[in-house]
Structure 1
Amino acid sequence: MSDAIAVIDDLRDESEELDSLVAELSEEEWAAATPAPGWTIAHQIAHLTWTDGVAVTAATDPGAFGAEVAAALAAPDSFVDEAAVAAVAAASPPELLRRWRAGRERLQEVLREAAPGTRIPWYGPPMSLASMATARLMETWAHGQDVADALGVVRAPTGRLRHVARIGVRARDYAYFVRGATPPGEAFRVELEAPEGGLIAYGPEGAAQRVTGPLLDFCLLVTQRAHRDDLALRAVGAEADGWLDIAQAFAGPPGAGRAPREGRREGEHGPSNAPGSDAI
């Protein structure tokens, strides 16, 4: 349970960092377009609010969540109830902030109070408490990136990105399955340079297929918030190289991703103005 609590603490901190970006926005800024087509900053926060609410339902009322899953299966292009998200986004900024804050705090409370070993039903396999908190952190960071892009803010990467990277690595095979492809049979080695220094590594040291680069860049890639051409990621081996073209850390169908930026300077990272991908 201590591992779950540590991730929940990081989820709290990630949410508070995003809160600091939006807390003082004007009504006009809330309506600013983000890289996701048709989504304003309000839509980004509304999406998080809606998904946090669904996660609470999954943890506290599995029967009601089953109805949510049935509805999602009836609309396979997305797990998200876009009409419900739009309704939340239509609230006034103070009300939207209130609902988001209350919802995320309720989710964190539910996760903290759950019995060790609890498995929470989700749109895929049931999730452990730590996995649910990790998934919510990943989505909070990814949609927070869209908000930061809309505001022209460059966020300093933190060690919390290790959670996002872990999902990206664990979801390797899913990226193939969702495209109707067979994943590689061998394990990959992924070595990522942490922002505070040091190396975060996954997979066997002697693997022939390898991916290396900055932790931030890998997280931007697997959440499809930047095109790989704009990132300092390196692949050794044809299969590792192919994976970087399709990697995704989120459930659901493949996203459109981002187009490469024009005029990018060497060492500069970040997304283009092309569409982003919704994470659930």
Structure 2
Amino acid sequence: MSDKQAIVSGLIDEWRVLEELLEPLDEEQWLTPSALPGWTVHDVVAHIIGTELMLLGEQPPHTGLDPHTLAHVRNEIGAFNEQWVESMRRDSASTMLARFKEVTGKRAQALAAATDEEWNAPAMGPLGMTTYGGFMHIRLFDCWMHELDIRDAVDQPRTEATDRDRLGMQQLCASLGYAVGKLGKAPAGSRVAFELTGALPQRIYVAVDGRATVVDALDGPETIGIRLDSWLFVRLCGGRTKADRHLDEVELSGDVKAAKHIAEHLAFTI
């Protein structure tokens, strides 16, 4: 399976899973606060719908809201997202679910029809210039993270690993060097190993030589070790929780002081 096929299949599958997750929720559950400041489950879904509508060529309707006045809006992307969220805030759960199905259905058709030329064409993504295909990988990651947000809010966890988890983790780990070096301030020369346990077990290595870079293997002894559950790792990187709430769930080794600082500064998502 090509990268294009894997990402398209993974994104469409993610929408299907979200639909199945949302279908049985009642109005009260849709209004449950999520781990994202200021957002309920309803708002999370509105954000997903809004982004996919944007990719279909639509712009958010004028709501009269100045999103910059909201404490949880930290940048222009957040302000843009909030316009979509505000425009749907009064819609019922049934209306939201129907709209989600309609919009993701149209997007699935657009993805299936995309040529290789369109897939590889330059495109502006949330992190800067990429390709359209690169942006779709980010879309899969974003929806995957929001599935976790909704599951946490309504207490419907899952533990099984799927292909979309592999693609989500792949996108997550692409920015881990930034988290370790820029945010975590790992000392020069560090060799960092993350050992993830649970549903998505794997080892991830970061070498710090001038800049921190994710590598396939360390070229020397491990100097910093961080061992934790894979879903906790995802939540920390996504800023959904903080390491100081999970001190008994994170094992640190080597330069423990540096390891603790990295674990406390993994959050890098926008």
TM norm structure 2: 0.71
> What is aligned with 1:136?
139
The aligned residue for residue 33 of structure 2 is 33
Farther off after superposition, 228-237 or 131-140: 228-237
Contact 1:165 1:218 in 2 (8 A): no
Q: What is the Cα-based RMSD across aligned positions, in Å?
A: 3.5
- Paired residue type of 2:263: L
Q: Which residue of 2 aligns with 1:264?
A: none
Q: Which residue matches 1:189?
A: 193
Q: Which structure exhibits the higher relative contact order, with contacts defined as CA atoms closer than 8 Å and separated by 6 or more residues?
A: 1
Q: How many residues align?
A: 238
Kindly report which structure 2 residues correspond to 1:258-273, keeping only aligned pairs within 5 A, or say none.
none
Q: What residue number does 2:151 align with?
A: 148
Name which of 199, 202, 206 aligns with 1:199: 202
Indicate the residue corresponding to 2:246 in structure 1. 230
- In the alignment, is residue 245 of structure 1 matched against residue 264 of structure 2? yes
Paired residue secondary structure (1:149): helix
Identity over aligned pairs, percent: 20
Q: Conserved in 2, the CA contact under 8 Å of 1:195 and 1:215?
A: yes
CA distance in 2, matches of 1:8, 1:200: 26
| Partner SS state of residue 98, structure 2 | helix
Indicate if the aligned counterparts of 1:48 and 1:140 stay in contact, CA closer than 8 A: yes
| 2:123 counterpart residue number | 120
Q: Say yes or no: does 1:167 pair with 2:171.
A: yes
Distance apart, 1:222 and its partner CA:
0.8
**SS where residue 25 of structure 2 aligns?**
coil
Counterpart Cα distance in 1 of 2:134 and 2:115: 13
Please tell me whether residue 218 in structure 1 is matched to residue 233 in structure 2: yes
The match for 2:105 is 105
Based on CA coordinates, which of the two structures has the bigger radius of gyration?
2
Q: Residue deviations 1:27-68, cap 9 Å, x none? A: 3332233333432221110011112233444xxx9xx8xxxx
Once the two structures are TM-superposed, the CA of residue 6 in structure 1 deviates from its matched residue by: 0.8
**Gap runs ≥5 in structure 2:** 60-66, 206-214
Q: Aligned partners of 2:146 and 2:224: how far apart in 1?
A: 30
Structure 1 gaps of 5+ residues are 65-71, 252-280
Matched residue type, 2:154 = L
CA apart distance, 1:131: 3.1
Tell me what 1:278 maps to. none
Q: Which amino acid aligns with 2:104?
A: R
Answer whether contact 1:164 1:249 (CA < 8 A) is retained: no
Q: Is the 8 A contact 2:186 2:258 kept in 1?
A: no
More divergent stretch after superposition (43-52 vs 207-216):
207-216
Pick aligned residue for 2:224 from 204, 209, 224:
209
Separation in structure 1 between the aligned mates of residue 131 and residue 102 of structure 2, nearest angstrom: 23
Partners of 1:122 and 1:98 in 2: CA distance: 27
How far apart, in 1, do the equivalents of 2:230 and 2:51 lie?
Answer: 26
Secondary structure of residue in 2 paired with 1:35: coil
- Within 5 Å, give how 1:17-56 maps onto structure 2: 17-56=17-56
Q: Is the 8 A contact 1:5 1:130 kept in 2?
A: no
Report the AA paired with residue 234 of structure 2.
C
- Contact kept in structure 2, 1:194 and 1:200, CA below 8 Å: no
Cα deviations across residues 199-243 of structure 1 (Å, max 9, x unaligned)? 354422344334333322211211122332427343443444322
CA distance in 2, matches of 1:200, 1:108: 33
Which residue in 1 is equivalent to 2:13? 13
TM-score (normalizing by structure 1): 0.69
Distance 1:169 1:35, change over 3 A: closer
